[in-house]
Chain A
Amino acid sequence: MSPGSDGRSADRRGELNQPREALLAIDDYRLAFDSFDGTAQVLDGVSLRLAAGETLGIVGETGCGKSVLARSLLRLNPAPPARVVSGSIRFEGTDILTLSEREMRRLRGRRIAMVFQDPVSYLNPLLAIGTQMEDALRGQHQAAGEPQPSRAEARARAAALLASVGLAEPARLLDSHPHQLSGGMRQRVLIAMALAGNPALLVADEPTTALDVTVQAQVLALIAGLVRDRWLALLLISHDLGVIAASCARVAVMYAGTIVEEAATATLLREPRHPYAQGLLAAVPDLDRPEHRPRGIAGSIPNLLRPPTGCRFHPRCERATERCRVEKPLLREVGPAHNVACHHA
């Protein structure tokens, strides 16, 4: 079967999500990075659905393409080197891949907002928090071609946003500089800024990875509360299955630019079907079960300049057969809302 003919899997997945109309629909999305060494096929036919108010986690290891996928939703991958090979990303019915940069700016930070791993890098150390938030708020109105709020209006809205993410004394915080804030406070500020445009979709890329575990728990609780109260759809990227289990109803496992399994989080944790998903779960040490020895996955992630033929996991897979070497497995239904891309699952 040729790689271009897997629209079938997208159709089937569409049926599964019939009751709710998709807010976000990614179909057979392929993204390549061009370099002097050749073309890396970074995302290879990714299809995903996300309904309003739904929470989806994307888990995978370094280089699996999860952050590239997250950035694709805001078209933040610099092109070149990034090049869309095929597919569509429909958000609220519009394929964002066809939008002009100007139209994209209206969407970015408004209907779709993003929170990143390292809050320090996304705050200007020289400007007070209030100045940065006011600039962002006014910039959003400018991008939308609406009259800009006055500084005073923007400041009042910034203070309200800070209060909505559980920060005390917002007025004083507006006059603070980033270095005066703790890591957890900075991430809350960035979440507040993400909420400014009243988004329908929040994309969070490793939002708690730089935080201590007690602060991580607070930020995860904050995100869960916002998702519930604001009917936000959440796409949470993480390498930590525990973080995803705490925040997301559904989870997709990525490996080498493909989604290998997608299921309700509880289902995936209980009965993973794809050999990679099984390996990933077996590798996580369990704090409450020290007698469970974590097992590694032999081999290492493939070089995407020369990805393996067929199933991209086959060189590391104990169950690989000749078919896995030649034929790329498509996502197929193995249970209710449970899809696996493996010939043997």
Chain B
Amino acid sequence: MTALLRASGLAKTYALPRTAFQPARQLQAVAGVDLLLEAGGTLGLVGESGCGKSTLARLLLRLTPASAGRIVFAGQDITAMPEATLRPLRRRLQLVHQNPGAALDPRLTVAQAVSEPLVIQRLARGADLRDRVAALLAEVGLGAEFLGRFPHELSGGQKQRVCIARALAPEPSLLVLDEPTSALDVSVQAQMLDMLAELRERRGLAYLFISHNLAVVRQVCAEVAVMYLGRIVEQGSAEQVFGAPRHPYTRALLASVPRLGGAPPATAPGEPPNPAAPPPGCPFHPRCTMAQPACREGVPPALVNGLACPVSGAG
């Protein structure tokens, strides 16, 4: 396997302007993230709202410039690559959003929406374009009768299929899926997960799969990274992270998922802190049951062997 996407020391800091109530501050949305995704691999990014997982995805896609760090995609450093040079590479990096309703232009038919990337990237025209659009739709399980339909005539699941067909049009090698099934009912979600598994197999796609739904991530991903307040706190194979979690946050996260027919979910105290005012030391220490005095000061612990917790690692 070869590295398709590698990020090192990736960071994003937003400047919060001074207001009448607060002085100017810095918000560190992503802080020193290292990631490796192999060609055809599946990496799940999990964490609660505000942990920086969507910002990280935008950084990796170069939709937002990074404040620090390096991104290498398909052997080329794209961190500061000029837009003109980046453009041909963008074909190979595609994004699927959470809300398919908002991602589709209500005035474009399904055929127009799926054609757009092919036309913009000058990949097809005329009869060839029509054939490729029909083939893409067939690949996501939509028949030719959908070609002339508008988004308002589609169900949520059908809209998401159109978005995926459009993302596949320029023949990417990596799909970034940002909460792709969160807006869907569970019976539709299951169909979507099946389809994603088939597409990956057929096309040799790599997935960066962002979700707050841990059970869905476990279905899709071989590798998992757990984020908390802009940092990866635990990373490893899905079996290891879900089966034998080591970081206290990962354990709390897994324990708080309500199980069918099990005991009521265990509760972790507190809520994720405000990223604009992170606690000193380990960002999780105010909620951690294992916290030691050393966790409350200094810099956040670094990720060592896939774990950013010296206490639980030593124990």
Residues on A lying within 8 angstroms of B by beta carbon are 61-62, 182-185, 212-218, 220-221, 224, 239-243, 245-247, 266, 269-270, 279-288, 290, 293-297, 300
Contact = CB atoms under 8 A, between A and B. Distances in A.
A243 B262 CA distance: 11
Q: Which residue, A183, A184, A185, A283, has most C-beta atoms of chain B within 10 A? A: A283
A60 B215 CA distance: 19
Contacts of A243: 258
Contacts of A281: 260
Interface in B143-197: 155-157, 185-194
Nearest to B213: A285
A308 to B, nearest CB: 17
Contacts of B190: 282-283, 285, 294-297
Contacts of A286: 215, 260
Interface of B: 48-49, 155-157, 185-194, 212-216, 218-219, 238, 242, 252-262, 264-268, 271-272
B159 to A, nearest CB: 12
B258 A61 contact: no
A287 B44 CA distance: 14
Contact of A212 (B188, B191, B255, B271): B271
Contacts of A293: 194, 219
Given A212-B49, A269-B260, A285 B216 contact: yes
Contacts of B265: 216-217, 220-221, 246
Given A217-B266, A296-B194, A245 B253 contact: no
A254 B72 CA distance: 49
B99 to A, nearest CB: 14
Nearest to A208: B258
Contact of B187 (A215, A240, A297): A297
Given A62-B185, A213-B48, A290 B268 contact: no
A294 B259 contact: no
A281 B190 CA distance: 11
A287 to B, nearest CB: 4
A62 B186 CA distance: 10
A221 B267 contact: yes
Contacts of A288: 259
Contacts, number: 127
27 contacts: A184-B271, A212-B272, A214-B253, A214-B256, A214-B271, A216-B258, A216-B265, A217-B258, A217-B265, A217-B266, A217-B268, A241-B260, A243-B258, A245-B260, A280-B186, A282-B190, A285-B190, A285-B193, A285-B215, A287-B218, A287-B259, A288-B259, A290-B218, A294-B190, A296-B187, A296-B188, A300-B157
Given A61-B186, A218-B268, A243-B258, 5 more contacts: A62-B156, A185-B271, A221-B264, A266-B261, A296-B188
Q: Which residue, B215, B252, B254, has most C-beta atoms of chain A within 10 A? A: B215
Nearest to A245: B260
B256 A182 contact: no
A166 to B, nearest CB: 11
Contacts of B261: 245, 266, 269-270
A287 B253 CA distance: 12
Contact of A290 (B155, B238, B272): B238
Nearest to B49: A212
A62 B156 CA distance: 10
Nearest to B219: A285
B69 to A, nearest CB: 27
B191 A224 contact: no
A224 B264 contact: yes
A213 B212 contact: yes
Q: Which residue, A61, A214, A241, has most C-beta atoms of chain B within 10 A? A: A214
B12 to A, nearest CB: 21
Contacts of B255: 217
Nearest to B287: A214
B68 to A, nearest CB: 28
Q: Which residue, A224, A245, A266, A293, has most C-beta atoms of chain B within 10 A? A: A245
B259 A283 contact: no
A296 B157 CA distance: 12
A296 B194 CA distance: 9
B267 A218 contact: yes
B212 A285 contact: no
Contacts of A280: 186-187
Given A220-B264, A245-B262, A212 B185 contact: no
Contacts of B191: 296
